[in-house]
Amino acid sequence: MKHVKNFKLFEELNKKPEIGDYVIIRVSEECGTEEFQNKIGIIKNIINNTLLSIDFEDTNEIFHKSLIENISKNKEDLKILLQTKKYNL
C-alpha cells in the first residue's frame, strides 16, 4: 500500500491581486468568460484598483477583479489546482 508522504501547501492562494500574479478567471456564460476555462493568465496592469489587464497566451483582456477565481504568485500552484479540478481530486 502506498501512502502520501508530502502535501504541497498553496502559498498566498487567493490573496489581493498584484501586477505579476497568475490568475484563473471564473468561468461564466453570463459574463462571456467560457473561452478562459482552464487557462492561467498573468496580471499586467491594475486600473482603478478594480479592473485587471490580464495576459493569456494568445490574448490580453480586461476583467473586473470580482471575476478572479484564484490568484497566486506561483504558476505551478494554479496548474496543480486545475489538474485537481480536471480529475475531481
What integer pLDDT is reported at residue 19 of this predicted model?
Answer: 96
In a domain, 12, yes or no: no
Cβ atoms of residues 53 and 73 within 8 Å: no
Q: What is the value of pTM for the model shown?
A: 0.80
In a domain, 35, yes or no: yes
What integer pLDDT is reported at residue 89 of this predicted model?
Answer: 61
Total tally of structural domains belonging to the chain: 1
The CATH number of residue 74's host domain is 2.30.30
Range of the domain at 52: 22-86
In a domain, 8, yes or no: no
- 88 — alpha (psi -120 to 50), left (phi > 0) or beta? left
pLDDT in tens, 1-37: 444 444 444 445 557 899 999 999 998 888 888 999 9
pLDDT in tens, 31-73: 888 999 999 999 999 999 999 999 999 899 999 999 999 999 9
64: nearest Cα among 17, 21, 20: 17
